[in-house]
A and B are shown apart, each in its own frame.
Chain A
Amino acid sequence: MIAEALSPATLAATAAGSVVGLVFGAIPGLTFSMALALMMPFTFGMAPVPAIAMLFAVYSGGMTGGAVSAVLLGIPGTPSSAATVFDGYQLARRGEASLALGAAVIASAFGGLFSLLVMMLLVEQVASFAIRFGPAEIFALVLFGLSTICGLAERSMLRGLIAGVLGLMVMTIGLDEIDGVPRLTFGTVQLQQGVNMLVAMIGLFAVPQVITTFLERRATLSPWPGEVTAEFPWRRLRGYWWLMLRSSTIGTIVGAIPGTGGPIAAFLAYDHARRFSARPEAYGTGELGGIVAPESANNAVMGGALIPMLSLGIPGDPATAVILGGLLIHGLQPGPLFVQSNASLVYALYLTIVVSWVIILLVQIWGIRLFVRVLRVPPHVLGVCILVLCAIGSYAIRNAVFDVYLMAIIGVLGYLLQRLRIPLAPVVLGLVLGPTLEQQYRTALILSEGSHRIFFESPFAVTFFALTAAIVGWQIWSSTRRRPRTR
């Protein structure tokens, strides 16, 4: 079975899966969840090891690919790479796109392999830890994540909070999942599905930036450095390994908790990196840590999410649900007995994950020279292409033209906010955290039959509340001290 992991068929399937995943991840609007669903039928006729290896490779390739468009175009390829845009795109604008992409892929591989190691050594421990996270604990964790708005608010805390609230508001539109009633849909079916997170992100990140590019073109300003270096400075990553390790831990744990996922992990890691950095003010202007942290975290989510899937048979997110389907099709029923009773198969699968990372690293590092050529295209021409890409990407997410209209409107509103000096990053954070925050809060209250005591009876929840209070308190204290100078 182990030998099967290195058989030509498996290697070919892994390579194909990695590349397809990368392409899907790199195109805004095409996500690895879609890639997984589309590759699924091909696995029906394959032997179990190559079939599952291909699905794993699509997952890791897709998660990594998201960073490519985040860095080069400033649009997250998948929701999990939204936090990568803040610093990745700034680095690209400074002509250091290859550095940003290189850091992203290495951090990704590190995160992916770290979580694989955790999965191999501590499956049962992590699974039994993760299962203790119920609605009350997840609510507390997400609320803690929301306190990172303070860090993303750029200059004014007030404007950051406004932005965060606007983001949270957008995500309440649609059919309420708990009570099944339509909210703010004005009787339309299209709005019932709610505002897709990625559609909103594409609009918010891409449209304001394209409008600015067009304006600069008309004012004949050239915002881009003339040349793009294609060198790959490994040395610059020195000093980031410890951050990678911490971010990977965050990603693995968040991934293992059913009902959370990559975007939340990426933002938590981003904020963690900024908070413990020697130069927090550099974040958002092209700091390498701002790429390393979210990319290692969102790839570590994969191993994390596979833990409850393999050891309990419970998928934590839509992507692992598809992989679970792939395992079931081949007569493999993950669950408490799975790892022991299929040890050689499981180890073969672990080995294929390592192989897929080797392939992804090779393809990406080789591909960087190719990718950065995109930046030689004059910005205004690239802007027109980005508009088209955003539109068809938004369409592809749910096969709905309605989403293209939605993306356009959200994008122009985003431009308006930017002009009013309301930062967009907290809006995105609101989009990411809003649905989970509300749902877990309400589910917890249903569990406790309306009593808020449920939030204070759990040591995990209380810990996160205390951390949240500490961060908010510290932020208010430091902003009152700064007040005389800036507002």
Chain B
Amino acid sequence: MLRIGAALIALLPLTAHAQYPQKAVEMTVLFGGSSATIAQVLADALSKELGVPVAAVSRTGAGGAVGYSFVRSSPPNGYTIVWNSNSISTVFHSGNIDFDYRAFEPVARIGMEVPALAVRTDSGWTALEDFAAAARSRRMRVGISGRGSFVHLVSAALFETMGIDVVYVPYGQGTAPAELLGRRVDAALQWPSQFKAQVDAKQLRVLAVTSPARIPVLPDVPTAKEQGFDVDLVMWRGLAAPRGTPKEVVARLEAAARRVVASPRFKELSAKLGFEPAFLPASEFGVLVARDDAAIASLMTELGLKKR
């Protein structure tokens, strides 16, 4: 009923100088799974902040290319925003879209997700060095998401630093942890939330995370850097709007996002989903996006994955 009401209100003609927002905001979500759940939590909180419905609309597929293309071609009025991530860089450099991060106005970084490398507990490996030593006598199989995905890049960077050569096995639908349990791969590089249950049950062990500092979800797990392998690769997640969205609209969204991320409720739900809230304002977020894009570009060039 509420939705019908909102839809009817949305039908009313708008005056040109009305203050943003006047109608429902649509937030495009590019992927399913945990990223979509946290997007819904965010949308729900944002709609309370903005006073209009914020709908998390899923436009998945093609590594984010579909959703990015849709948002880019939408009118830059702040009513279409995108729940974006480093995928804007991976999808551009793999040659699947013909525009890059500059097609969007950064709004705010919402948080981070840190890749984690897990092995079975019965493997006996307790640190990256053990894994590296074992990998020198036998080629290891490492479960990742698809080729050219962010976790693939991260694992490539990690293993290159460790000086070992592995077989990357791509799994869709987040089944890599199951394959690890089924003993078909020796390790898997995925998101911590996917390993959490098995780590608690002592069936899997996370050897390292690739962030500069330890993460709250897995406080006992050392970073790769602590273990002497200098890798700093973290997936950011944030909000962006099509290029040309008015400054005051971006500022309004940014302020709302700031309050949401600071709220205890959002922090609590994020912790449960294994997501790490980390707000960055638009200007700093923009710098981060550009810096990450350059890093991803050079990484993909090294791997021979860069097509553009």
The answer to the question of A418 belonging to the interface, with a C-beta cut-off of 8 Å to chain B, is no
24 A–B contact pairs at CB < 8 A? A41-B44, A44-B44, A131-B178, A131-B181, A312-B197, A312-B198, A313-B196, A315-B174, A316-B175, A318-B32, A325-B33, A328-B274, A333-B197, A335-B196, A336-B203, A337-B197, A337-B200, A398-B58, A398-B59, A399-B57, A400-B59, A400-B66, A447-B167, A449-B139
Q: Which residue of B lies closest to A310 (CB)?
A: B197
- Known contacts: A131-B181, A312-B178, A317-B173. The answer to whether A194 contacts B61 by CB under 8 A is yes
Q: Are the CB atoms of B34 and A335 closer together than 8 Å?
A: no
| Residue in contact with A308 in the complex, picked from B58, B178, B305, CB distance below 8 Å | B178
Instruction: With a 10 A CB-CB cut-off, give which of B32, B168, B196, B274 has the most chain A CB atoms.
Output: B32
Q: Identify which of B5-13, B142-150, B255-263 touches chain A.
A: B142-150
The answer to the question of B112 belonging to the interface, with a C-beta cut-off of 8 Å to chain A, is no
- CA A134 to CA B146, docked complex, whole Å: 17
A residues near B213, Cβ cutoff 8 Å: none
- Known contacts: A131-B181, A258-B178, A308-B178. The answer to whether A178 contacts B170 by CB under 8 A is yes
Residues A163-211 near B (CB distance < 8 A)? 174-175, 177-180, 182, 189-190, 192-194
B residues near A194, Cβ cutoff 8 Å: 61-62
Q: Are the CB atoms of A328 and B149 closer together than 8 Å?
A: no
- CA A177 to CA B147, docked complex, whole Å: 8
| Residue in contact with B193 in the complex, picked from A40, A308, A322, A328, CB distance below 8 Å | A328
Interface residues of B (CB under 8 A from A): 32-34, 36-37, 40-41, 43-44, 56-63, 65-66, 69-70, 94, 96-97, 139, 141, 146-149, 167-175, 177-179, 181-182, 184-185, 193-194, 196-198, 200-201, 203, 269, 272-274, 305
| Residue in contact with B169 in the complex, picked from A182, A328, A337, A446, CB distance below 8 Å | A446
Q: Are the CB atoms of B169 and A193 closer together than 8 Å?
A: no
Q: Which residue of B lies closest to A442 (CB)?
A: B170
| Residue in contact with B184 in the complex, picked from A134, A325, A399, CB distance below 8 Å | A134
A residues near B69, Cβ cutoff 8 Å: 189-190
**6 other A-B residue contacts (CB within 8 Å) besides A192-B62, A315-B174:** A178-B170, A194-B61, A259-B173, A313-B196, A328-B274, A334-B197
A residues near B58, Cβ cutoff 8 Å: 37, 398-399
- Known contacts: A322-B37, A335-B196. The answer to whether A447 contacts B185 by CB under 8 A is yes
| Residue in contact with A325 in the complex, picked from B34, B181, B198, B200, CB distance below 8 Å | B34
- Known contacts: A189-B65, A337-B201, A400-B59. The answer to whether A180 contacts B149 by CB under 8 A is yes
B residues near A337, Cβ cutoff 8 Å: 197, 200-201
Q: Which residue of B lies closest to A397 (CB)?
A: B58
Q: Is the interface of B mostly helix, strand, loop or mixed?
A: mixed
Q: Which residue of A lies closest to B29 (CB)?
A: A37
| Residue in contact with A321 in the complex, picked from B61, B139, B171, B174, CB distance below 8 Å | B174
The answer to the question of A329 belonging to the interface, with a C-beta cut-off of 8 Å to chain B, is yes
- Fill in one digit per residue for A292-335: 1 if any B CB lies within 8 Å of its CB, else 0: 00000000000000001000111111100110011011110111
- CA A204 to CA B50, docked complex, whole Å: 43
A187: min CB distance to chain B, Å: 9
- Known contacts: A189-B69, A259-B173, A447-B184. The answer to whether A399 contacts B59 by CB under 8 A is yes
- CA A84 to CA B108, docked complex, whole Å: 48
Q: Are the CB atoms of B65 and A192 closer together than 8 Å?
A: yes
- CA A157 to CA B104, docked complex, whole Å: 53
- CA A134 to CA B169, docked complex, whole Å: 12
The answer to the question of A132 belonging to the interface, with a C-beta cut-off of 8 Å to chain B, is yes
A333: min CB distance to chain B, Å: 5
- CA A333 to CA B199, docked complex, whole Å: 11
Q: Are the CB atoms of B273 and A328 closer together than 8 Å?
A: yes
- Known contacts: A180-B149, A328-B37, A443-B170. The answer to whether A175 contacts B201 by CB under 8 A is no
The answer to the question of A240 belonging to the interface, with a C-beta cut-off of 8 Å to chain B, is no
The answer to the question of A338 belonging to the interface, with a C-beta cut-off of 8 Å to chain B, is yes
Q: Which residue of B lies closest to A136 (CB)?
A: B184
Residues A339-398 near B (CB distance < 8 A)? 398
| Residue in contact with B172 in the complex, picked from A40, A333, A439, CB distance below 8 Å | A439
Q: Which residue of B lies closest to A187 (CB)?
A: B98
B residues near A308, Cβ cutoff 8 Å: 178
| Residue in contact with A190 in the complex, picked from B66, B141, B184, CB distance below 8 Å | B66
Q: Are the CB atoms of A313 and B198 closer together than 8 Å?
A: yes
Q: Are the CB atoms of A175 and B41 closer together than 8 Å?
A: no
A residues near B181, Cβ cutoff 8 Å: 131, 312, 314
Q: Are the CB atoms of B37 and A329 closer together than 8 Å?
A: yes
